[in-house]
Chains A and B, each alone.
Chain A
Amino acid sequence: MTRRNLDPQIRAYLAQLRQAGAVLPADRRAELLEEIRAHAEAGLAAGEQPQQIVSELGDPEAVIAEAQSGAQGVAQFPGTDVGVILLLALTLVFTMLAWLAAAVMVLRTSSWTIKQKLIGVVVWPWATYAVNVILGGGPMPSNATGPVSWFYWVTIPFGNLAWTGAVYMYRTHPARVARQRAKSASGSRLHRTLGDSFNLRR
């Protein structure tokens, strides 16, 4: 408020406090400085001498040390980290489930050709892989760095697991197996083999 007119000694004290307070979170430091300044101004208004005010406030380092000791254990929010991890895990799980469901639907449909099905099912893991290679800095997981690297490690195995799982579940479906056995008498060997794996339209 009366910042420009503030006594030089008090201004110097506040500058010291601001400097020592660099270790504090910005909002805590700003609030502390504001409180100490209000205190000094109230002291001046009450007729105290600047030197007395400053010496009674005490060593700026001690004030900041007190603020730091309070910051530990109270200002930490472990819940936030847990929340973020949980959210990521949920996103991952639902992404996998969504992909799995999509893969199963693609494989089961009779309106797609085998080529379309393969593209539809395989593209996602490989697109992820490509993104990882580009952003992560290399074709091998060991080359991947930064926030992408964990994504790399998780998406590839999970994507492949989901893909294999989808194919396996589809192939072993009893009604399908019986139907394919009846159909596979005709067509090329490749078509028969793939026809057992996928609902191939001929």
Chain B
Amino acid sequence: MVPGGTGLSQLRRGALEYCVLSMLTARAQYGFELVKALSELDGLVTTEGTIYPLLARLRKEKLVRTFWQESEAGPPRRYYELTKQGTKALDEFSDQWTRFRDTVDSVLGTEKR
């Protein structure tokens, strides 16, 4: 593992949670489409399989809830949607993230890159 790799993966892991919540703000999504949408984003998801335990955790924390819906083809799908609590957690994170990002940028001198 490269030096700093752990720190970055921790940072990614922490931020990923809120990226998942953010992807659900527009509409509820089922596992596969949510995972595919996330893995299209550069450098956010390295192992798609780990999204599912993350979703289970978010549900346990009541930030998302699930429901089943029939699909046109194949078995019914488990959909994930944001709860009120999830919306609130996302808003709070977004505020703090902006400040955090600016601080880190100013310390590292990476604002103008």
Residues of chain A touching chain B, judged by Cβ–Cβ distance below 8 Å, are 1, 17, 28, 31-32, 35-36, 38-39, 41-43, 45-46, 56-60, 62-64, 66-67, 69-70, 74-75
Contact = CB atoms under 8 A, between A and B. Distances in A.
Interface string B68-108: 00000111011000000000000000000000000000000
A42 B33 CA distance: 9
A31 B57 CA distance: 12
Contact of A39 (B47, B48, B74): B48
A38 B47 contact: no
Contacts of A28: 56
A31 B56 CA distance: 9
A36 B50 CA distance: 10
Nearest to A45: B74
Q: Which 3 A-B pairs have the closest CB atoms?
A: A58-B47, A67-B53, A70-B57
Contact of A70 (B35, B53, B73, B75): B53
Secondary structure dominating the interface of B = helix
Nearest to A37: B75
A66 B53 contact: yes
B57 A62 contact: no
Contact of B47 (A31, A62, A69, A74): A62
A36 B52 contact: yes
A17 B50 CA distance: 12
- Which of A35, A41, A69 lies at the interface centre, i.e. has the most chain B CB atoms within 10 A of its CB? A35
16 contacts: A1-B75, A17-B49, A32-B52, A36-B52, A38-B78, A42-B32, A57-B47, A57-B48, A57-B49, A58-B46, A60-B49, A62-B50, A66-B50, A67-B52, A67-B56, A70-B54
A25 to B, nearest CB: 11
B22 interface: no
B60 A36 contact: no
